[in-house]
Structure 1
Amino acid sequence: MIQRIFFFVFAAFLLSQCVPVRKQTLLQSKTEENKLAENANFSRMIEEVDFEYRLQTGDIVTIRISSLTPDEFNPFLSLDDRQSESTDPLLSGFLVDKEGYIILPHIGRVLVKGLTIREAQQKIEDLVGKTIDTPSVYMRLVSFHFSILGEVNRQGKYPTYEDKTNILEAIGVAGGLTEFADGASIKIVRTENGITGITKVNVLEEDIIGSYYYYLKPNDIIMVPALKTKNFRQNQANNLALIFSGIATIASVILVFDRINTN
């Protein structure tokens, strides 16, 4: 009798330590229709949100200008000289000021706030094209970074030179989710137009791909909470000791009653 009690309690304890696969698997299908499609080797098609990052105040960009104009007649070579002086692009890049302008040598102030990288490149090409022959402008956003905290394998602040980085890529950069990450309750802290908001996203479902928050914006903070199971596991030694202590007490009481009844 006592052995059975110990066995069932121990089995229940072990089962309570398990984290269901559905709480760990990214991009799960929600409907039976999707499950049937998967079994038939079809992929579910999800339309991504139309996203192109638009430059804003505080951004820093690097700019390279090439041209068919001979070097001795190209005043914009000084841009390359300036940006090659420092190995840190944040120090040598061009800041988008409070009014949305960058200041370029030989051109002056150029309004870029609200433009995509491609639109800003084209605008600068049109301006320098008045001075040099067949210009080609390459612009890169170098101030884009995000922070990811909580149940990931490498918490921290990460830079990215891509202006289109999604939340799954960010999780990958951070070494992936831990065993006890609650992927259904991830929070994104985002500041836009001077207003900071917090939004909960679920990376366990496929629909995250179509979400407005699928793609990150500069300075986003990703908070990955832990499942409730983690707290239980962290205290499992104490829990196990208490459980078996309770069983031992019950067993002692049963033995006492058995002796009394026997006598």
Structure 2
Amino acid sequence: MKKTSSYLVSLLILFLIFSLLSCASKKNLYYFQGDETILNEVYKYTPTLKPDDMLIITVSALDLESTLPFNQQSPYNTNASGSESITSTNPRLKTYLIDENGEIDFPVLGKIKLGGLTRSQAMDFMRNKLKVYIKDPSVNIHISNFRITVLGEVSKPGTYTLSNEKITLLEALGLAGDLTIYGKRKDIIVIRDKDGKKIFTHVDLTSNELFKSPVYYLSQNDVIYVHPNGAKTNSSAYSATTSVFISLAGIIISVISVLTR
């Protein structure tokens, strides 16, 4: 009977020790906890063009010849078949850098300011400018270097260049393969450049409040950093501590065995 009691006590001690080492609260892992009505209150964000954006601008009209002066291409725009094409996704089409004043230097039109405008506003602005030279012009603007960077405890950290200038924080984390089990879900940091300053915003993925965050929609060159959680940061300590606990458990079991003989 005493041996059985000793065995049960030993098992209980070992269970408690390993539970302390491996336990994790569901509240620290589950996303979007809290009031679901907040899901209808997503932060309103409209991306605008900024300095250092690289723009691909294509002008079209029924009279294609009249658009040629405005659709300049790089010297290496000929494809393998020897033909040329003008598309918004052609990497050989000339790009226009928005300078520190928010301006680009566009053929015929010269210096025009697009910084601070949305993509739709910029297209309307250029369309009105081009009406002097082209009948019923159409303008398409594409940001060729829109990218975000995801670092820390995610499956695929890295810099991602996007074809769409409107992306959410959740979509960016999805591109990076989501957080690892060691990612700290309650404290995601989004680093954003604004007027020459670094703005750090903390986001809690376990709360529905993230949908109201000003960084729910990401901006050009945003950096997302996922902190390691306690299990990760203390992993080296755990490896050393685990052996101590096991040794301590062995001593306790030995003492109990002696006392219950």
The alignment's TM-score, normalised by the length of structure 2, stands at: 0.83
User: Is the CA contact 2:149–2:222 (under 8 Å) kept in the aligned structure 1?
Assistant: yes
SS in 1 for 2:224: strand
User: Is the CA contact 1:75–1:106 (under 8 Å) kept in the aligned structure 2?
Assistant: no
CA distance 1:111–1:84, change in 2 (3 Å) = farther
* TM-aligned CA deviation for residue 254 of structure 1: 5.1
Q: Report sequence identity in percent.
A: 25
Which 5+ residue runs of structure 2 have no aligned equivalent? 79-88
Partner of 2:55: 61
1:74 and 2:45 aligned = no
Partner of 1:123: 125
Partner residue of 1:7 out of 4, 8, 11: 11
Deviates more, 1:6-15 or 1:48-57: 6-15
Partner residue of 1:193 out of 195, 198, 214: 195
CA distance 1:199–1:91, change in 2 (3 Å) = farther
The one-letter code of the counterpart of 1:196 is: K
Q: What do residues 118-155 of structure 1 show as CA deviations (whole Å, max 9, x unaligned)? A: 11111111111111111110101122111111111011
The one-letter code of the counterpart of 2:18 is: L
Q: What do residues 2-28 of structure 1 show as CA deviations (whole Å, max 9, x unaligned)? A: 423431232123333133332222222
Partner of 2:28: 23
User: Is the CA contact 1:112–1:120 (under 8 Å) kept in the aligned structure 2?
Assistant: yes
CA distance 1:118–1:108, change in 2 (3 Å) = same
Inter-partner Cα distance in structure 1 for 2:19 and 2:10? 14
Q: What do residues 93-140 of structure 1 show as CA deviations (whole Å, max 9, x unaligned)? A: 110012111111122111111111111111111111111111110101
CA distance 1:109–1:213, change in 2 (3 Å) = same
Q: What do residues 195-236 of structure 1 show as CA deviations (whole Å, max 9, x unaligned)? A: 112121112212211211101111111111122123455655
The one-letter code of the counterpart of 2:200 is: I
User: Is the CA contact 2:49–2:114 (under 8 Å) kept in the aligned structure 1?
Assistant: yes
Inter-partner Cα distance in structure 2 for 1:253 and 1:124? 85
Deviates more, 1:148-157 or 1:198-207: 198-207
The one-letter code of the counterpart of 2:40 is: I
Inter-partner Cα distance in structure 2 for 1:251 and 1:47? 57
CA distance 1:47–1:249, change in 2 (3 Å) = closer
The two structures, once aligned, show a CA RMSD in angstroms of: 2.7
1:174 and 2:168 aligned = no
Which 5+ residue runs of structure 1 have no aligned equivalent? 35-42
SS in 1 for 2:189: strand
* TM-aligned CA deviation for residue 253 of structure 1: 4.4
1:143 and 2:145 aligned = yes
Inter-partner Cα distance in structure 2 for 1:21 and 1:84? 56
Inter-partner Cα distance in structure 1 for 2:253 and 2:30? 42
1:51 and 2:52 aligned = no
SS in 2 for 1:25: coil
The alignment's TM-score, normalised by the length of structure 1, stands at: 0.83
Inter-partner Cα distance in structure 2 for 1:239 and 1:18? 16
Inter-partner Cα distance in structure 1 for 2:52 and 2:189? 24
User: Is the CA contact 1:83–1:89 (under 8 Å) kept in the aligned structure 2?
Assistant: no
The one-letter code of the counterpart of 2:77 is: E
User: Is the CA contact 1:24–1:181 (under 8 Å) kept in the aligned structure 2?
Assistant: no
CA distance 1:223–1:69, change in 2 (3 Å) = same
1:218 and 2:220 aligned = yes
